[in-house]
Amino acid sequence: MTAYLDNAATTPVCREAAEAALRVMTEGFGNPSAQYSLGQQARKQLEGDRKTVAAALGCQPREVVFTSCGTESDNWALRLGAERNRHKGRHIITTAIEHGAILQTCRQLEAEGWEVTYLPPNREGTVSLSDLEAALRPETALVSMMLVNNEVGTVLPVREAAALVKRYDRRILFHTDAVQGFLKLPFTPAQLGVDLLSLSGHKVHAPKGIGALYIRSGVPLKPLILGGGQENGLRSGTEPTAQIAAFAAACQAGRAQLSDTIAHLKALKAYTLEQLRARVPEAEQIGRGEAPHILALTLPGYKSEVLVRVLGDQGVYISAGSACHRGKSSHVYEALSLSKPQRNGAFRVSFDRTTAREEVDAFVAALARARDTLFPSMS
């Protein structure tokens, strides 16, 4: 059977999202900026979808700005959030295990004269609040800390970190990349205490090409793109109404099933670990991995790229770390100080609400066969 266990990379589009997109593409295809009735129909649909996404996130509709993806949201939050507080100073704090969208933007900002402090993780894949406290300075403009690490599934202490930062200086902006946490964990931006929060549609059963940035009311950011003044003047360009409708439908479906989804994911993860202990005891879990849908593993002595290909040939789909930096050594595994055999043998399985136990059984059986037939790498 086919076993798709790479849902942290992308999720299949759910029926609700596909139907919503098709309906808008065929019936409500007007330009939302047009003044005639077809355009106003599209505008009404767009604003209704914004309300739906906001309801799923737990914020006000005016605080949701649609983007093309989580990477764009991260770039916007980091660059323009830091720029907004430039008068305070040119210092940013983030972690060494962020998504590349954050780390590469930080590298570019460093080249432009900003100073960035990268908080190191411990062996469990989380960061110390005492390290964050020690890194804060009067000139700190922005702190960015992901909610869930996309490679090892650690849930970082965003709520506690944001509270610490705001106690130090309320003017410091706090951003979180919540791409892997949205509709997998119960939270709202207000509960986390953040100013900026990034989302991605294709991680929650919407199509690729749509995301969002939460901007807390009262946080003025400069526009990302200039032009026709769409998205309340913050991101010009005709809105992709079909993708937005699909995103909203996926959010609504995901929010309605959130409690059941979390329970299902936790049970599935526990079952996977139980089966691995019984059939492939050599497989080691990486990090603490509290996120219910992500399980990072390593089979020391084997090459993860080979495992991915061999299992893929059997219809079992897993990932050698993050799909976003394919072919490169994982900065997360390096930051966790894993040994070379552990890094080389590291891979990730990730679930969604539709994943069945039979898929886990197929994965464990395929991994056991691979262990028995492949020669362990000596490097």
Give the residue numbers marked as catalytic.
324
Closest CA to 178 of 198, 158, 161: 198
Q: Confirm if 147 and 156 have CB atoms less than 8 A apart.
A: yes
Q: Which phi and psi angles does 154 have, rounded to 5°?
A: -70, 135
Q: Residue 64 in 3-state DSSP?
A: strand
What lies within 8 Å, CB to CB, of 341 at 6+ separation is: 300, 301, 377
- Tally of CB atoms within 10 A around 356: 13
Distance CA 111, CA 164 (A): 28
Cα 91 to its chain centre, rounded Å, is 24
Which residue is it, tokens 């059939």?
279
Distance CA 240, CA 40 (A): 15
Vertex 83 angle, CA 77 and 84, to 5°? 85
Dihedral sign for Cα atoms in the order 16, 18, 19, 25 = positive
Distance CA 256, CA 153 (A): 23
